[in-house]
Amino acid sequence: MLGTMSYGSDGNTDEKECIEILHNALDRGINFIDTADTYSHGESEEIVGKAIAGRRDKVVLATKFRLTAGEGRNEQGASRYWIMKQVENSLRRLNTDHIDLYQLHRLDLQTDLDETLGALDDLVAQGKVRYIGCSTLPGWYLAETQSVSRLNKTVRFINETSPYSIFQRAVERETLPAVQHYRMGFTAWSPLNGGWLTGKYKGGGALPSGSRAERVKGQWGEHYPILQTRFDMEREGNRRKLELVQELERVATEADLSLMHMALAFPLAHAAVTSVILGPRTLEQFKSMEAGFETVLQSPTLDRIDALVPPGSLIEEADRGYISPWLAPELRRYPGKVA
């Protein structure tokens, strides 16, 4: 599965190269393309639309809604109003008459789940959407969505997308069991943990030129402070990752693999995982990933990874994928009891 978060003004501004990456992926047999309404302010969807022109029927096309996509207070969320408006914007940018997988990008506590699923059910009935999915939802909330769909007789989420890597194994505790129980698909995003599992970050020196960490510190830093945290080398979790990378590189070498290829293959070893999202920003990065497409990890290698990073582990909290809203004071303190 090819992810296109880095295509456009927030990443690779060379539209020609972005389209070339997409064409290379399609030629290599990748037929699942993932984007979102907010990636580079809609530019990613436009680039994807141009790249798949003439090949639309060969592609499973996924995009998302929910995150802030404008300055207006209603230009975000999972309300019927916003879903019906934003799906039209995505269809226009993608230059298609339907979206194969339309995904709730994050949960929305301000909107009743019945309303969200009802609107998505109408889009499926209209033929504008084929299937619906979700991203980075807690396991218990995944269960709630299935229950509401069953009770209201609406379409259900058939795929969950969450961060899953050697360094982010928290989804193994509840999310992946829920996915298996409800017979959902699962796509793993950030299998390289933002580049940490390529071995490019060594600590104690300048950030690699063109790396995600460098871009976060620069152009993205003001708007996405949580991303800066992911690459703060002074945090205990990130210091631990620097240590683990050295040990994981030895494991990969002994398995005759690169660290990158071992990391990309890791999520696919789990029975619940359907696909891994590759997020190359440049054609060179795609080529380096492509060389490891056939990698399958053997039990001895997986056992050594487990010994270094036990199942269910989360090395750095900033890699969880979202900040739990239930940790906010207004949701964990009884109203009127705290002055």
Is 39 labeled as catalytic in the residue annotation?
A: yes
CA distances to 148, 218, 307, 332 from 326, rounded to whole Å, are 21, 30, 32, 6
Q: What residues have CB less than 8 Å from 198, skipping those under 6 apart?
A: 192, 259, 260, 263
Please give the span between the terminal C-alpha atoms of the chain, in angstroms, as a whole number.
50
Which tokens hold the place of 205?
């020196």
Length of the chain: 339
Contact 99, 90 (CB under 8 A): yes
DSSP structure string for 26-94: HHTT--EEE--TTGGGGHHHHHHHHHTTT-GGG-EEEEEE-S--SSSTTSSSS-HHHHHHHHHHHHHHH
| Nearest by Cα to 3 from 215, 289, 241 | 289
DSSP track, 92-150: HHHT-S-EEEEEE-S--TTS-HHHHHHHHHHHHHHTSEEEEEEES--HHHHHHHHHHHH
Given 39, 102, 131, 164, the catalytic residue = 39
Q: Is 118 exposed, middle or buried (0-12, 13-18, 19+ CB in 10 A)?
A: middle
Return the closest-CA partner of residue 139 out of 200, 89, 190, 181: 181
Q: How far is 85 from 89, CA to CA, in rounded Å?
A: 7
What residues does 33 pair with on adjacent strands?
Answer: 2, 61
| Residue 315 near residue 307, CB atoms below 8 Å | no
Alpha-carbon distance of 332 to 62, in angstroms, equals 35
Give CA–CA dist 182/177, Å, rounded. 9
| Residues acting as catalytic residues | 39
